[in-house]
């Protein structure tokens, strides 16, 4: 592939950490259930492509997420590299125990900014979900593990509509007060627009959350993920969640488009001269391989442009 050059824009970071969520957030939202060895190869190829943070799997009960029922087997088979972080999702203390038994070095909990989604996804109120997370976060931190806090429905909720900024700040504050070390702001149904992203980031920083701890997790359902990412980078965010090949349609949105595709993100960042450490060609080859395993083309524009599938 020929190069097309880089042209920086003022006010953006020199380097971005991409948190690759394809093996967890991506695969858990795909209908196909892949063999363990395919998941392991996927993670190892992502690391070989330069990723340094790959969310590897989830210890949610297999009844709820059968796609990731082999979490312990994946971690046992994985050739974990020094200098690479492999966080896993844990829903509760039982999940944390399984994750600790598997020797994980980092965990994530998954909260909701809205009552409607907390009830549907966690079968709890927001208060009850925070009570459930408290011992998980405390035990993980006592074991020396960083804990990422996902906060979903930060911008809009399919049942509640617009989510007030103050409500998101309030739940975020309580999650961070539990001891979480990173906050990932999820636009779970992809409805955010750039001004709203900036307003939420400014409100969180004004409330005392260090911008270095904030990650953004955008979905491309309405085609806004990259515009929203650029707005967040302009406010000093340096951690961006993305899914290789755009894996993982959102189950709460009718469109097949879910997570921001890592390739689309990397294309944009590299064009701006922002370092990611990721080899785009290797990443695209990995997503093309995964698309074959899943039996459907990648929704990533960049994957389609580069491999024509």
Q: CA 309 to CA 303: how far, in whole Å?
A: 8
Q: Binding of Mg ion at residue 298 (CB under 5 A)?
A: no
Nearer to Mg ion, 100 or 116 (CB): 116
> Residue 259 or 287: which CB sits closer to Mg ion?
259
**Interface region with Mg ion, contact rule CB under 5 A, candidates 21-29, 46-54, 71-79, 148-156:** 21-29
Under the binding rule (CB under 5 A), the answer on residue 187 touching Mg ion is no
# chain residues binding Mg ion, by CB under 5 A: 2
Per annotation, catalytic residue among 19, 154, 180, 250 = 250
Q: Mark the segment that binds Mg ion (CB under 5 A) among 23-31, 77-85, 177-185, 205-213.
A: 23-31
**CB atoms near residue 295 (< 10 Å):** 8
C-alpha to C-alpha distances, 137 to 63, 109, 146, nearest whole angstrom? 23, 8, 9
Does residue 25 touch Mg ion according to CB under 5 A? yes
- Per CB under 5 A, which of residues 42..71 are in contact with Mg ion? none
Cβ at position 190, least distance to Mg ion in Å: 9
Taking the complex as a whole, the smallest distance from the CB of residue 269 to Mg ion amounts, in Å, to 19
Q: Is-contact 124 132, C-beta < 8 A?
A: yes
260 φ, ψ (degrees, to nearest 5): -55, 130
Its sign, for the CA torsion 59, 182, 276, 30, is: positive
Q: Is 250 a catalytic residue?
A: yes
Residue 7: CB minimum distance to Mg ion, A: 30
- List the one residue from 57, 67, 259, 300 that touches Mg ion (CB under 5 A): 259
| CA atoms lying within 13 Å on the CB side of residue 90 | 32
> Bridge partners of 20?
54, 242
Q: What is the nearest approach in angstroms of Mg ion to the Cβ of residue 241?
A: 7
The span from the CA of 83 to the CA of 277, in Å, is 13
Q: Candidates 20-28, 100-108, 225-233, 297-305: pick the segment binding Mg ion (CB under 5 A).
A: 20-28
CB of 220 to Mg ion, least distance (A): 10
As a whole number of angstroms, the distance between CA 297 and CA 304 comes to: 8
Strands 88-89 and 107-112 come out as: parallel
Question: Tokens for 191?
Answer: 């409805």
List the catalytic residues: 250
Q: Catalog residues that contact Mg ion under the rule CB under 5 A.
A: 25, 259
């Amino acid at each position: 592939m020929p190069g097309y050059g880089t042209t920086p824009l003022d006010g953006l970071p020199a380097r971005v950490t991409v948190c690759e969520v394809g093996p967890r957030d991506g695969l858990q939202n795909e209908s196909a259930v892949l063999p363990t060895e395919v998941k392991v190869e996927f993670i190892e190829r992502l690391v070989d492509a330069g990723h340094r943070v790959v969310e590897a799997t989830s210890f949610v009960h297999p009844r709820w997420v059968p796609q990731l029922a082999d979490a312990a087997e994946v971690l046992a088979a994985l050739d974990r590299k020094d200098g690479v972080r492999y966080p896993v999702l844990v829903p509760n203390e039982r999940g944390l125990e399984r994750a600790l038994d598997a020797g994980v070095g980092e965990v994530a909990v998954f909260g909701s900014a809205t009552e409607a989604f907390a009830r549907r996804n966690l079968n709890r109120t927001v208060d009850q979900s925070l009570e459930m997370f408290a011992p998980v976060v405390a035990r993980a931190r006592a074991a020396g593990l960083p804990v990422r806090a996902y906060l979903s429905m930060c911008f809009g909720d399919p049942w509640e509509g617009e989510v007030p900024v103050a409500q998101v700040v309030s739940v975020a504050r309580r999650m961070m007060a539990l001891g979480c070390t990173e906050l990932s702001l999820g636009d779970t149904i992809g409805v955010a627009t750039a001004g709203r992203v900036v307003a939420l980031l400014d409100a969180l920083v004004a409330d005392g959350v260090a911008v270095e701890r904030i990650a953004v997790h955008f979905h491309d359902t309405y085609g806004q993920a990259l515009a929203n990412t650029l707005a967040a980078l302009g406010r000093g965010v340096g951690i961006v969640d993305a899914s290789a090949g755009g894996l993982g349609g959102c189950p709460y949105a009718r469109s097949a488009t879910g997570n921001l595709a890592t390739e689309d993100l990397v294309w944009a960042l590299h064009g701006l001269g922002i370092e990611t450490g990721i080899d785009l060609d290797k990443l695209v080859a990995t997503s093309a391989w995964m698309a074959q395993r899943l039996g459907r083309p990648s929704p990533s524009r960049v994957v389609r442009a580069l491999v024509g599938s």
